[in-house]
Amino acid sequence: MSDSLQQNNLGAGSRRLTVVALDDNPDDLELLRVYLKALPRWEIDFYPFHFDSPRSRLPPGDPDIIFIDHQLGMETGFSGLQKIRNSGIGSPVILITGHSDEKVAVEAIRAGVSDYIEKQSLSTEGLDRAITNSLEKQKLQVEIQRQREELQKSNRDLIRKNDQIRNFYHTISHELKTPLTSALEFISLTLEGQAGPVTATQKEYLEIAKDSCRQIGAHVNDLLDMTRLETGKLSVSPHPAQFEPVLLRILPMLLHQATEAELNLRCDIQPDLPNVMIDEEKVIRVLSNLVNNAVKFTRAGGEIKVSAGLLEVPAPCVEVCVRDTGRGIVAEELENIFDPLFQVRKSDTVTMGGLGLGLSICKEIVRQHGGEIRVESEWKKGSAFFFTLPVAGPEERMEILVVDDDELTQDAMKRVLEREGYRATTVEGGKKALQTLENFTPNLVLLDMHMPEMNGPRTLKEIKKYWPHLPVVIMTSNPRSELVEEALSLSPVTLLAKPCKRQQLLDTVRGILEPPEVHRKEV
Ligand code: ADP
C-alpha cells in the first residue's frame, strides 16, 4: 500500500463522487474501496457491484465513475462495458487490469474506456490521475457532442436556406424568361416592320434593345442551368454523332461574334473523326460558352482557334480545344476557375458582365458526357480550354425515328436502315412520335406527311418547336401536295419521294448523318 493512502484530509477543493466498481473478487473490491476513501481530493460514495451478488446495489442516477475489472468471471470487462453502454449509462469507465499488457490497454481505449490502471501498481496518485483524466475527458466529450449537435443543426439550417435560395433563383429565372421571350418577339416584329415603318435610328435602337434582351436571356439560362445542376436535373442524353456538324451549326454565330469583336476565328478539325457520344445541344452550350469567354477576354486583332482531334489514350476520345491569344489567367487563379461563381478579380477587374457560372456549367456537362475539361493559360499570353468527348463504341449506333402510319413501309425502312448499321425505331403517328422524342432524341427523323389524327406538318411544327436542331426528312408520295408546301414553309427540310429506292434512302440518311469530306475544310 502506498504512503499516500495514510493521508485522507479532504481539502477545500474536494468533490463528492459516486463510484460504482464491478469486480467478481470481493477482496479486490475492498482494496479499491480503501484506496478510493484515501483520496484527498474526492469524497467517495462507493457502490461495489457484482452481477451475481444479491447484496450489490447501484446508485439512483448515473455514477460519476465506473471501475470495471478486466476479468469478470465468465465475462470480460469489455462485454461488461458493452452492457453498461447498452443500458444507456454514459459515465466514464476505468478498466482495472490484472497484468500490464499494452495490447489490453490499446484494446480498452478502443472499446471506449476512459483510462486503465493495473491492479499490482494501485496507488492513490494513480487513481487520482485516472479519475481526473476520465472526468476531464468526459467533460470534453460532452462539449464535443454539444458542438457536433450545434454544427449539425447549422448544417441543416444552411441546407434549408440553400434550398430556399436555389428555389428562389429557379423561380425568378422562370418568371424572367417568359416576359423576356415576349419582349424579344415584339422587338423582332417591330424590326420586321409589322407595326409600321421603322426609321434607321429606331432600327438601330431596337437592335441594341434586342441585344440587351439576349444578354439577359443568356444570364437567365445560366441561372436556370445552375439550379438544375445543383438539383441534379441538368442531365445529358448522349447518343452517337459526329462532332463537326455540331460545330458547323453554331459556326455562323461564333463567326459573327468574332467579327464584331474584330477577332480572327479559325477552325481546325481533324478529318475522319469517329462518332462521339454527345448530347448536341449541351455540347453546343459548352462550345459557345468557351468561345464567348475567348471573345470577351481577347483584345481586337487577336485570334481564337477551335480545334478537334482524336486522342487514343487513356481511352479513345475526341479532344476539343478553344484557344485564344487574350489576357490569360494568372496561375493561382487557374485552380478555382471551374468553381461556380468564380471570377478572376485580382488580375483584371473587368469580368465583362458574366455571372461566373459558365465554366462550372461546362464542367458538369462535360463530366456527364464522361469527359474532362481543363485549362492551360499564361497571363498576358492567352488561354486554351480543352474538353474531351468519349468515342462511341461499335454497339452505340446512330438512331433514326421512322414516323409512318403504314406498317409495311415501317418494316421495310427498319430493315434497310438496320442492315446498314443504324438503329431504327418506328411509330405509327405524330402523337406517338412526340411522346417517343420526350424519352430519347434520335439523330434523325423520317416523317410521313399523310397520317390520320396528327399529320406531317403538325408533327413537324411541334418537333421544330421543341427540338429545333433535330434533322427531319419528309417522306411523301405527292411532293406537290398542300401538306408538303405547308411543311416546307415551316422549316428547311429534306424531301424524299415515296416509294423510294433503298440506295436513295441510304444516301439521304448518310448525307445528313455523316457529312461528306467537302464540309470538313478549315474555315
Ligand atoms: P463568366 O460568365 O463570368 O465569364 P465563367 O465561369 O465563364 O464566368 O468564367 C469564369 C472566369 O474565368 C471569368 O470571369 C474570367 O475571369 C475567367 N475566364 C474564363 N475564360 C477566360 C479566357 N478565355 N481568358 C481569360 N479569362 C477567362
Ligand 1 and 383: CB distance under 6 A: yes
Pair (197, 214) in one structural domain? yes
Pair (479, 351) in one structural domain? no
Q: Is residue 416 part of a domain?
A: yes
Residue 63 sits in a domain whose CATH number is 3.40.50.2300
Tell me, what's the pLDDT at 480? 75
Pair (269, 370) in one structural domain? yes
Q: Are strands 75-76 and 71-72 parallel, antiparallel or unpaired?
A: antiparallel
Closest of 173, 268, 281 to residue 226, by C-alpha: 173
Q: Is residue 135 part of a domain?
A: no
The whole-model pTM stands at 0.57
Ligand 1 and 354: CB distance under 6 A: yes
Q: Is residue 520 part of a domain?
A: no
**347 CA: nearest ligand 1 atom:** 16
Q: Is residue 117 part of a domain?
A: yes
Tell me, what's the pLDDT at 347? 47
Pair (247, 197) in one structural domain? no
Tell me, what's the pLDDT at 518? 39
Tell me, what's the pLDDT at 280? 85
Pair (257, 298) in one structural domain? yes
Lookup: cell for 234 = 441538368
Pair (252, 386) in one structural domain? yes
Q: Which of 346, 372, 390 is the last residue of a domain?
A: 390
Task: Please give the residue range of the domain that contains residue 379.
Answer: 241-390
Ligand 1 and 329: CB distance under 6 A: yes
Tell me, what's the pLDDT at 75? 62
Residue 252 sits in a domain whose CATH number is 3.30.565.10
Distance 59 CA to ligand 1 centre (A): 68
Q: Is residue 154 part of a domain?
A: no
**343 CA: nearest ligand 1 atom:** 14
Q: Which of 363, 390, 417 is the last residue of a domain?
A: 390
Pair (385, 246) in one structural domain? yes
Domains of the chain: total? 4
Q: Is residue 142 part of a domain?
A: no
ω into 499 cis (within 30 of 0): yes
Q: Which of 184, 205, 230 is the last residue of a domain?
A: 230
The amino acid that residue 214 corresponds to is R
Q: Is residue 495 part of a domain?
A: yes
Distance 213 CA to ligand 1 centre (A): 21
Q: Are strands 399-403 and 423-427 parallel, antiparallel or unpaired?
A: parallel
Tell me, what's the pLDDT at 178? 85
Ligand 1 and 363: CB distance under 6 A: no
Pair (199, 258) in one structural domain? no
Pair (433, 483) in one structural domain? yes
Q: Is residue 235 part of a domain?
A: no
Pair (489, 408) in one structural domain? yes
Ligand 1 and 226: CB distance under 6 A: no
Minimum CA distance residue for ligand 1 atom 14: 343
User: For a substitution probing ligand 1, which of 288, 292, 359, 363 has the most ligand atoms within 8 Å of its CB?
Assistant: 359
Ligand 1 and 293: CB distance under 6 A: yes
Ligand 1 and 337: CB distance under 6 A: yes
Closest of 250, 304, 247, 255 to residue 276, by C-alpha: 247
Distances from the Cα of 319 to the Cα of 40, 85, 308, 467, angstroms: 77, 59, 5, 26
Q: Which residues contact 465 (CB under 8 A, 6 or more apart)?
A: none
Pair (341, 419) in one structural domain? no
Pair (224, 246) in one structural domain? no
**342 CA: nearest ligand 1 atom:** 10
Distance 210 CA to ligand 1 centre (A): 24
Tell me, what's the pLDDT at 439? 81
Which parts of the chain have pLDDT scores under 70? 1-14, 51-56, 72-77, 99-100, 342-354, 395, 514-523
